[in-house]
Each structure stands twice: as C-alpha cells, then as structure tokens.
Chains A and B, each alone.
Chain A
Amino acid sequence: MTGIKTLADLKKKQEEVKSQINLREKAENPDAMIQVKVAMATCGIASGAKDVMEFFVEALDKRNINAVVTQTGCMGYCFAEPTVEIKMPDKEPIVFGYVDVKKADEIIESYIKQGELVDGIIPQNYDVIG
C-alpha cells in the first residue's frame, strides 16, 4: 500500500475499510458494549498510557471484539498508573492498575474474553492518595 498523504488518500482508505465485510454489528447502545477507559491525566500520560490505549484500539479490533475504547481523567490511583477501567455489559466496572502492553494483552485474553480475573485489580474501597 502506498502512503496516506492527502485527505483523498484517507477517504480512499475509508472506502476500503468499509467494503471489507464487517460481521460485527456496531451497537448503538454503549451500555451493551464492552467499555475500555484508559486514564489519561498527567499521571497516566507520564507513565505511558498512550501506548496502552493504542494497543487496546488495535488489538481489540484485530481480535474481533466489539468494544469502545475511550479515555478518562485521573481516577485517583496515580500510584498505579497506567490504570484502565473495564466495564463488561451487565457487570460492575473493574479498575486494573500498572497496565503495560503485556498486561493489556493478558486483560483482553483472560478477562474480556473469558471473564477470568487477572492480577492488578484495584479494589474500589481503596482510599485515594491525596
């Protein structure tokens, strides 16, 4: 593929992507979808949250998992950044701490795919560091 340099190139790419058979339905209701929220405040950014977020965007797509990846502010767990909150449909959200690309992969494979918990969960009754 040649490089994408103009808006026309981008549009062409979009049409290519669109024309590929997409079996996944884009659910309108976000509550029915898996939500991945990457904390991206000063603390998260400085600890490398960008790489984690880029990984989630790419990996969830490649593995055909229908999810919304978005960013959020500081959740108060600055000591455990990068932190990621995962909300599975009909389940309580769970916050994972110290997430790097390797951990993110484990979260997708174990928690998102099979519902098995992995290490690094931050209990909700933790006090925030002030």
Chain B
Amino acid sequence: MKMERPLTEHIHLDGTTRTLREYVKDGGYRSVQRLATMLGPKDVQRLVTESGLRGRGGGGFLTGTKWGFVPMGPSAPKPKYIVANGDEMEPGTFKDRVLMEGDPHGLVEGMILAGYALDAEVGYIFLRGEYHLSAQRLTRAIAEAYEEGYLGKPLPGTTFCFDLHLHASAGRYICGEETALINALEGKRAVPRAKPPFPQAVGLWGKPTVVQNVETLYNIPHIVNHGSDWYRRLSRTQDGGTKIYGISGRVTNPGWWELPLGTTAREVLERYAGGMSDGVRFRGLLPGGISTAFMTEEHLDLPMDFSSIPPEVGRLGTATMIVLDDHTCPVGFVLNLEKFFARESCGWCTPCREGLPWVARILTSFEEGRASKEDLALLDMHTKWLAPGHTFCGLAPGAMAPLQSALKYFRDDFERHISLRHCPWSKKPAQLRVVV
C-alpha cells in the first residue's frame, strides 16, 4: 500500500514553493468551501477531537482537549484569537520551515479552520525572525487568500469572517513558550506569564487565545477532508496521523521524512538517513530538539510517538533527532546545549538565570581539564534544582533533560575528563600539567 503523506506529498523537493493554483488543483481550500453546507464549528471541533491529533511543537497535548477549554457561545468574550507558533528556534528542528516554505497556503487553510471551529475571528502567524523565505512566501499566500475571499470576508454560506496577520519576530528562543509569545505579540518584553489563567481563557489582550504549533495546524484540513478514522489509521499507534521526522548530525543522509507516527528511531536512522557516516559509530540521539533526554541503542526500537516513550526514558519533543557519534565528545555536546540555554534564558526567574550559566561554567571546566569529582556532584544537583516546579517556565527543566540523561549514559566520559585532566576528544590536552 502506498504510504500516505498528506502534509508533504505535494511539496516540491527543489525548494520552490507551491503556488495557489497548484494548491487548489490538489484539493486545497476544499474544506473551507464545504463549511457552509456540511460542517458547523462543532463538527470541526469534533473531528479534531476524534482524530487524536496531538500538538506537534513538542508538548504532544491533545488539540481537541485544548480547544475544549475555549469559552464558546454568544456570551464568550470577543474577539478570540488563534495563533500559529512558528517560532521554530529549538536547535535541531527544521520541520515547520519545510512546511511553511514549501506549502504556505496549507497553514492559512489550517488557521481558517481552527478559527472557524473556535469562532476566533483573528489569527496571527508568529514567525521566527530568521525565516525570511517563509516570511516572503507566507506574506504572498496571505495576500492571495484575501484576494480569493478566504480571508477578510464571510466564508461562503456562513457569517464567519477571518483575518490573518503575519508577525515576524526578531530572534529569541523563549518566544516559543506560548505565554511569552503572547507577551511578544502584545509588544511587551517576552517573558512567560504565570498559569493559570491559561491562554485559552485569558490570552492575547486578555481574550481567549489558542496557540498551536505550525505542523499541528497543517493537519487540520486533511482531518476535515478525510475524517478522523482515516487520520487515525495513518499512524501505527494510538496517536493519530503522520509526523515529520528529521535527523541531523553525522549520518549518511541528513534530512526530513513524513512518516506514520510511531515509526522507530532505528528506521529513521538506518532506512531513511542511511545509517551513520563512514567511520563513525552511533552513541545516542536527542529525539526531538535539545530539550529532550538522550536515547541510546537500547531505545532505538521504541515507537516514536507521544504515548509510547516511557516517561523515565524521555519524550518525543519535535521528532527532529540530533545524533551523537563516537567522534564527538558528549561533554562538549552538552556544553554546547547548556551555553545555548544560558544565553536564551529570559532572565525572569533566578534559578534559570543563575543556574544555567553555572552549569555551562562547570561543563567548561570539564572540557578544559579543571573539573573535580565535586563538579560532577554539582551537575547532578543542578538537575534537581532546575527540575520542573523550581522555575517559572519549562526552559530550565528542558535544559536539564539532556544533561541528566548524559550524566546517566555517558558518566564514564565525564569521569575520564576528570582523571585525564583534559578532554579525551581534543587533539591535545588544553593544559599540559607538570607532574612533580
């Protein structure tokens, strides 16, 4: 049977974008035209709930459940907002870019449907500032959708009218956190907000707001067109649909593939990415961005979805994997991650602002051959001090996931940095010591 790839089957592999004409020829915007006669807002909500669609930004929260918190009916506050989270700044992650560059109208259609389902009449696409090509193509797609009447006037046969704006950000990782994103859109410094209240009830400018990852929204037109049973069957597991999996690092063929949810990491690594590059061996991988825990050889046959990875192992995250090979120092690898987190911490809460640079300094001392056993214990303690519940948002706990798992799986390597007094992977010891 032909493998179905609803999100990407028409994307041009030469990097050019799909035009409006191509999009419509292949069934694009068909769902919107069916709304009046076939589907009310509740029907769209029901289809999405029954599909088992989970948020593709990394959290994996059930989209239908999230939508269930939005106040509906004539007494609901107005306007309500739907926001596409396109602040794809999680290192190792490039799946939303592939979609937005290759098929910008798919996002517009997904947002119209989400807006219709929730009676949210205004949408924003929050795009990371570095995605200039996505910005150009989305700007054009939005303008075309206005010209065609999909935006800015009542949809055929309904009273629902949707406006959509593109917001290009200016580069800051924390904006991917949904409440920081909301502050950013309001023109405030993008620090996270306390929850509750949750954005679905009190979000942008105090109004009900649903923030969805870009890939999540691309799924909605297909669910509406083909139904929730079809959608569930696309997956190999209880989580519905396909997923864009990706791989970077020293593998033969780094890239992305849309595959059934529940595909194993081994299949992605060996069958699609062609295995490890010549001369290097696999040691571990981060399954989905750098806020996820390492997985090693023993985990490669786990179905990669939101429900099958045991919590003590980790979580799927964005499903764009980063591979650690035996020519790369695991301590140096984790140092790179922690420097990123320390730099991108918004600085709002003390444990994150102070703790992450501290972690980075300790890891630097390992790489420079200055670390002691006490430093190893300090790293262990930080994974507890910066655990969930100790910080204002999820950034620092996310930063601890790769560190904690590295300390578990690659502890020998940390200890060798101490005993050798230099990084075993650096060509020469950083500091030559004279032993008397």
Asked if A and B bind, the verdict is no
Chain B residues close to A by CB (< 8 Å):
none
Chain A residues close to B by CB (< 8 Å):
none
